[in-house]
Amino acid sequence: MNWLKAKSRTGGDCRFGTWAKIPALETVEMLGHAGFDFLVVDMEHAPHSLQTAYQAIVQAQAAGMAALVRMPDHSPSMAQKLLDAGADGLLIPRVDSADAARQALAGMCFPPEGSRGMGYTSRAAKWGADSVAAYLERGRTGVTRIVQLEDVGAIGEIEAICATPGLDAVFIGFGDLMLSTGLPRNDPSILAMEQSVLKTAAAHQLPVGTAVQSPKDALACRDAGYSFVMVSADTTIFSIGARALVEGLKG
């Protein structure tokens, strides 16, 4: 079953997760014990290798979370390895056009929709214990292929992007969107782009996700129509906790 259709551990229809930037199994396990719905292993902005990403996928799933990975780029060979490692979904960073979305997603889909190769003896098929049919079905319907929209050009092509074969969800990357436009998060132009994505994705029955720093902002996203939200990150959670502890000692 696709993780977005499974019962949420945090309740309601919106799934809440966080980023895994620290390449350590212990922190992944603790985040699972905390009760997050999903984890996103960050290979774009953190020092994860293929090996540590693979280990985090296994540990996250063992701890009761869906395991997603933000890829370092659009590489189809990396997508192949991560999907065969059993990832529940992939985030494709910096998708700036409908053409870029088509090319990236093609490598994540089995023929005839795409060009992903057969890896039946991989972890995604329980090392060959599953049937070929089950492996192919999971690859077609059991994983979530997500494009990250992070600049004005991509949002201008949102209709064509949402119609891309193999697309399962979209993610609005407000950090890079604000960086590229020079506008704050609450600027009317940013808010208009957000509504354009939410409305167009809803018309295509595609879930929309984003990332925030606080529970308050996460709940506001849920109420605005987002289906999945990353809240903070393991590094930030540790840093805030450590600083609060030291401040308490100073007091």
Neighbours of 160 (CB within 10 A): 14
Q: Which of 33, 45, 48, 204 is catalytic?
A: 45
Do residues 175 and 184 touch, judged by C-beta distance below 8 A? no
In sequence order, the β-bridge partners of residue 22 are: none
Pairing of strands 228-233, 15-20: parallel
| Spatial separation of the C-alpha atoms in residues 219 and 98, rounded to whole Å | 30
| Spatial separation of the C-alpha atoms in residues 70 and 77, rounded to whole Å | 14
| Spatial separation of the C-alpha atoms in residues 67 and 98, rounded to whole Å | 26
Q: Cis peptide before 93, with omega less than 30 degrees from 0?
A: no
Q: Cα angle at 78 between 76 and 79, to 5 degrees?
A: 60
Pairing of strands 15-20, 38-42: parallel
| Spatial separation of the C-alpha atoms in residues 62 and 54, rounded to whole Å | 13
Do residues 42 and 18 touch, judged by C-beta distance below 8 A? no
Is 48 assigned a catalytic role? no
Q: Catalytic residues, which ones? A: 45
